[in-house]
């Protein structure tokens, strides 16, 4: 089994979180990239926790302007994944990722000198585009470096990213408590510094080679014309691969757990229950702790086509249970509602743990090997589209319908999960589980029949 570039000596199961971070799939290459990712996400935590307040109190933008700015930035982010995938199919991943870090370093630095809406709009939009492109390139790097153990690497990367994000949010809380212009500027500089450090760390890695991963070629990729006696090599196009586009389309609503945790649960608690408002930060704490503590063990159960498709179905069931818990919190008293909403946060986070690994694992398995970068770039759009469409869906449709809206959402996601699993099983040609063998004499407890000698 090939584990990609690096020393590849990580054991299959291996030890606790710290031990696996020290010797991840992919060896030194992966270890350096995980450190770069943690530094990057620490900076992201600084900006994400303070961006709205900075734009309000320092840039003096109205709520409407902030909404337009973040909406346009979200649309720009959607283009980041396919753009990065297209570039990665033609150029090495490592310099492209360094370029994304340096691009965000430059655009974020512009925020310190740009104060008007017209100047901030392109700067924030390009920052979001670079952010989504960087995340796609990080996962492509992981796919090539970790090889068949990409699910284990994905688990480690999520643990490192969440730990970095929590650290950044904690540091941001200090700056927000001060509330001065200098404090906000320091937070932006801290985020910019994280990009510089991440770029330097990526520079220390080696370009991963794209090999060793078993994938299923699409029908469009398998078909090729023949010119004379030489076969014509035609690179598969994800935009013409209807089977893969169906997977990506179904994956958009399958990312709704992100908006449920960040938007749905807090607003439902405030508007529809009597639970204390101080409980809202607990949702983030629950999510962060569970991801750091459980992502590796959950990911071990989503490696390979059979387990990944099973995880998709489990995701729909668990998320449906989480939505039902949210609906059940409405008629309860203060502490009953609080307990039910915490249980909902636990269920939605558990669903997220399964989806985060199975989604990427299937995106890799379903893509033809010779066009994997372009295909993964298209698959990466699902998260960006959900981030733009998910919050309006929850606030304008689900929550407006009351508890019935949550039940309908859970049922719909569970149904889509079943459809996606069936489509993936067909495309991957996963055979049905073998029937149990006919029990032998030792299993039935009966003696074997005597053989007649000639």
DSSP states along 385-439 = HHHHHHHHHIIIIIGGGTHHHHHHHHHHHHHHHHHHHHHHHHHHTPPPPPPPPPP
| Average pLDDT, integer, range 422-438 | 74
The structure tokens listed for 141 are 């790097």
Q: How many whole angstroms separate alpha carbon 8 and alpha carbon 29?
A: 9
Q: What is the 3-state secondary structure (H, E, C) of 112-162?
A: CCCCCHHHHHHHHHHHHHHHHHHHHHHHHHHHHHHHHHHHHHHHHHHHHHH
Taking phi over 0 as left and psi of -120 to 50 as alpha, with beta for the rest, 409 belongs to alpha
Looking at every residue in the chain, the average pLDDT score rounds to 81
Neighbours of 20 (CB within 10 A): 21
| Average pLDDT, integer, range 104-120 | 88
Q: How many whole angstroms separate alpha carbon 238 and alpha carbon 380?
A: 12
Least reliable range by pLDDT among 44-53, 120-129, 313-322: 44-53
| Helix or strand holding residue 231 (H, E) | strand 230-231
Structure confidence at residue 235 as a pLDDT band (50, 70, 90): low
Q: What is the pLDDT of residue 214?
A: 38
The reply to whether the predicted model has a pTM over 0.85 is: no
Orientation of helix 181-203 relative to helix 93-110, angle to 10°: 170
Which residue did the predictor score with more confidence, 225 or 134? 134
Q: What is the pLDDT of residue 438?
A: 52
Q: What is the pLDDT of residue 415?
A: 96
| Average pLDDT, integer, range 347-364 | 89
Orientation of helix 372-379 relative to helix 242-251, angle to 10°: 30
Structure confidence at residue 58 as a pLDDT band (50, 70, 90): confident
Q: What is the pLDDT of residue 452?
A: 42
The structure tokens listed for 331 are 């008629």
242: pLDDT strictly greater than 50: yes
Neighbours of 142 (CB within 10 A): 30
420: pLDDT strictly greater than 80: yes
The structure tokens listed for 288 are 């962060």
Q: Are 240 and 413 in contact (CB under 8 A)?
A: no
Residue with structure tokens 């490192």?
160
Which residue did the predictor score with more confidence, 435 or 394? 394
Q: Among 256, 258, 248, 250, which residue's Cα sits nearest to residue 376?
A: 248
> pLDDT tens, 393-405?
888 889 889 999 9
């Amino acid at each position: 089994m090939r584990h990609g570039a690096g020393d590849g000596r990580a054991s299959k199961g291996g030890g606790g979180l710290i031990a696996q971070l020290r010797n991840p799939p992919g060896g030194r290459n992966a270890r350096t990239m995980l450190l770069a990712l943690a530094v990057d996400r620490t900076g992201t935590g600084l900006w994400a926790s303070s961006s709205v307040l900075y734009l309000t109190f320092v840039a003096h933008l109205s709520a409407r302007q902030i909404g337009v700015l973040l909406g346009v930035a979200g649309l720009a982010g959607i283009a980041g994944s396919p753009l990065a995938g297209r570039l990665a199919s033609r150029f090495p991943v490592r310099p492209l990722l360094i370029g994304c870090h340096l691009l965000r370093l430059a655009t974020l630095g512009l925020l310190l000198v740009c104060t008007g809406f017209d100047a901030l709009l392109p700067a924030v939009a390009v920052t979001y585009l670079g952010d989504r492109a960087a995340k796609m390139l990080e996962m492509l790097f992981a796919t090539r470096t970790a090889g068949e153990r990409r699910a284990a690497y994905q688990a480690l990367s999520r643990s490192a990213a969440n730990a970095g994000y929590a650290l950044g949010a904690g540091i941001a809380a200090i700056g927000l408590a001060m509330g001065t212009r200098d404090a906000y500027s320091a937070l932006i500089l801290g985020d910019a510094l994280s990009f510089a450090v991440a770029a330097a760390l990526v520079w220390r890695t080696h370009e991963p080679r794209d090999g060793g991963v078993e994938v299923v070629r699409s029908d469009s990729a398998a078909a090729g014309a023949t010119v004379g006696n030489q076969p014509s090599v035609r690179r598969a196009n994800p935009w013409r691969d209807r089977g893969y586009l169906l997977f990506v389309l179904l994956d958009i609503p399958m990312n709704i757990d992100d908006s449920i945790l960040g938007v749905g649960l807090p607003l439902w608690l405030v508007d529809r229950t009597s639970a204390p408002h101080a409980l809202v930060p607990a949702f983030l704490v629950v999510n962060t702790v569970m991801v750091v503590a459980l992502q590796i063990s959950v990911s071990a159960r989503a490696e390979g086509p059979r387990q990944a498709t099973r995880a998709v179905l489990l995701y729909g069931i668990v998320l449906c249970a989480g939505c039902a818990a949210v609906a059940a919190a409405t008629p309860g008293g203060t502490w009953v509602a609080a307990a039910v909403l915490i249980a909902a946060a636990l269920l939605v986070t558990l669903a997220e743990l399964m989806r985060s690994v199975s989604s990427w694992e299937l995106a890799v398995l379903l893509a033809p090997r010779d066009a994997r970068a372009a295909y993964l770039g298209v698959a990466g759009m699902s998260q960006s589209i959900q981030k733009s469409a998910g919050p309006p869906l929850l606030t304008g449709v689900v929550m407006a319908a009351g508890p019935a809206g949550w039940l309908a959402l859970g049922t719909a996601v569970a149904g889509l999960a079943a459809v996606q699993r069936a489509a993936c099983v067909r495309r991957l040609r996963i055979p049905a589980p073998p029937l149990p063998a006919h029990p032998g004499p030792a299993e039935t407890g009966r003696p074997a029949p005597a053989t007649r000698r000639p």
